[in-house]
């Protein structure tokens, strides 16, 4: 029984790593979609935002944005990949330097 539990744990670890890899490779979030979603959350028109940087890790896309008024924000968008069927959760955003609440309950 202990052997089975170890194999099950190894399988879970491999699946988790595999899922993250699949999510990263199938991310479909365009710059326009990112600016549209984060703009709605931040209260800016999409064309008032410039993407400074972005990276995708697993199911999350992390983006730094600069608004026309020179304010800078960090946002996380969860989803937008094959595992979520392209759907996303609302972005979590904060002014640069402030804590970013990330997670299913904003933690």
Residue pair 94/73 in contact (Cβ under 8 Å)? The answer is yes
71 falls within a domain: yes
The Cα–Cα gap between 89 and 104 comes to: 9
Whole-model pTM: value is: 0.75
Q: Which residue has the tokens 């008024």?
A: 69
87 falls within a domain: yes
Structural domain span for residue 59? 2-95
15 falls within a domain: yes
**Cα–chain center distance at 55:** 8
Which residue from 72, 79, 80 is spatially nearest to 100, judged by alpha carbons? Answer: 72
100 pLDDT above the threshold of 60? yes
Q: Is 87 helix (H, G, I), strand (E, B) or coil?
A: coil
Over residues 12-31, the pLDDT tens digits come to 444 555 677 777 778 889 99
Q: Indicate which CATH number applies to the domain containing 9.
A: 3.10.450
CA distances from 11 to 16, 18, 53 (A): 9, 10, 34
Taken in order 26, 30, 34, 40, the sign of the CA dihedral is negative
Over residues 34-67, the pLDDT tens digits come to 999 999 999 999 999 999 999 998 889 999 999 9
User: 6 or 98: whose pLDDT is higher?
Assistant: 98
Domain tally, the chain: 1
13 falls within a domain: yes
């Amino acid at each position: 029984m202990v052997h089975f539990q170890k194999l099950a744990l190894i399988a879970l670890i491999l699946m988790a790593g595999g899922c993250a890899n699949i999510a990263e490779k199938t991310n479909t979030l365009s710059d326009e979609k990112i600016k549209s979603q984060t703009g709605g959350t931040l209260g800016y028109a999409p064309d008032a935002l410039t993407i400074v940087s972005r990276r995708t890790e697993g199911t999350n896309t992390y983006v730094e944005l600069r608004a026309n008024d020179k304010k800078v924000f960090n946002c996380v968008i969860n989803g937008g990949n094959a595992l979520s069927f392209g759907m996303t959760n609302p972005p979590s955003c904060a002014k640069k330097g402030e804590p970013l609440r990330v997670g299913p309950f904003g933690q």
